[in-house]
Amino acid sequence: MEVVNFADRLAEAVARKESQLAVGLDPRLDLLPMELRGEAVLGRAAAASAVARFCRGIVDAVGPYVVAVKPQSAFFEALGADGFRALEEVCEYARSTGLLVVLDAKRGDIGSTSRAYSAAFVEPRDGDPPLADAMTASPFLGHDSVEPFLAACRRHGAGVFFLVRTSNAGAADIQDLALSDGRPLWHHVAELVREWGEPFVGEHELSSVGAVVGATHPRAVSEARRLLPQSPILLPGVGAQGATPADVARAFTAGAASALVTASRSVIYAYRDTEADWRSAAAAEAERLSTQVWAAAGW
């Protein structure tokens, strides 16, 4: 079967839908709609079933307005084996609707362990498609720890987004530390990601190796684009964390598909701020954000 570069698949999806929005699936039991929350207290199996139903409903609601969903694996894994089965079900369902799946797993370890993570998340499984099209990963153990993810890009058309400058407040404790030449540490990480991604640039002049950069730091977004001219940038932080589409506009200077804006809680729990049904509320917020991001990107 022909291997299609992840960045090319992303670019084609962005052009087709005129959207650069990915909706995060962060299913917190205490925030589920009341009709599902009652089931969630009946044990892990029932909770996992409720989570799967909720996420499938969100996929249906936001599907017309987004190019990808970003399941946060921790919320599923917290429910044990039932939760992981729910994750598999949700990923398979999302891909069956034509959406890309970017699994937010943030894995990274010595080479042999990273090989197992890669096999679990972005490589074909016994003849079946991979769980996800792309995943997030940590680069902080160096080249040998990321090579298995790069191999999945090479062999299977996977994508990987490495943590570069994250959106949380504590990121400054490590990522902003000054190197001997005065640059922040994250600039060096960005340059490594650029180097790792150069062999995986596709027909749309974008690499399958991207970077996670918090949208809550507009200056960092601009600097990251300069350091990563062909890397897609995954931009969390729009919505509940306070960033706006205008804050990320500079991320798109390398092309319409050169960044993905992710919004999670502000979309999937939008019903909490309105009288609308949870599906309708999520659809309306996804449509609003998608339109705003497209306009801000200028494409």
CATH says 6-297 is which class? alpha beta
Asked if 261 and 21 count as a contact pair (C-beta separation under 8 A), the reply is: yes
Instruction: Choose, from 28, 44, 106, 288, the residue flagged as catalytic.
Output: 106
**193-202: per-residue pLDDT in tens?**
999 999 999 9
**93-114: per-residue pLDDT in tens?**
999 999 999 999 999 999 999 9
Of the listed ranges 35-49, 73-87, 146-160, 203-217, the one predicted with least confidence: 35-49
Residue 102 is classified by DSSP as E
Asked if 92 and 54 count as a contact pair (C-beta separation under 8 A), the reply is: no
Q: Say what the pLDDT of residue 48 is.
A: 96
106 belongs to the catalytic site: yes
pLDDT interval class at 38 (50, 70, 90): confident
Asked if 200 and 134 count as a contact pair (C-beta separation under 8 A), the reply is: no
- The arithmetic mean of pLDDT across residues 88-94, rounded, is 98
pLDDT at 30 over 80: yes
Domain boundaries, given as residue ranges, for the chain: 6-297
Give the pTM.
0.96
pLDDT at 125 over 80: yes
Percent composition of the chain: helix, strand, coil (DSSP 3-state, to 5): 55, 15, 30
Cβ burial, residue 46 (10 Å; 0-12/13-18/19+): middle
Residues facing residue 262 across a β-bridge: 22
**238-271: per-residue pLDDT in tens?**
876 778 888 889 999 989 999 999 999 999 999 9
Q: Say what the pLDDT of residue 1 is.
A: 59
Average pLDDT of the chain to the nearest whole number: 95
Q: Where are the alpha helices (DSSP H) in the chain?
A: 6-17, 34-40, 44-62, 73-77, 80-96, 111-121, 143-156, 172-175, 185-197, 218-227, 265-268, 278-297
Closest to 196 (Cα-Cα) out of 169, 160, 220: 160
pLDDT at 12 over 70: yes
Q: Say what the pLDDT of residue 32 is.
A: 94
Going from the C-alpha of 154 to that of each of 40, 124, 130, 220, the distances in angstroms are: 40, 13, 14, 29
Question: Residue 292 CB: number of other CB atoms within 10 A?
Answer: 16
pLDDT at 29 over 70: yes
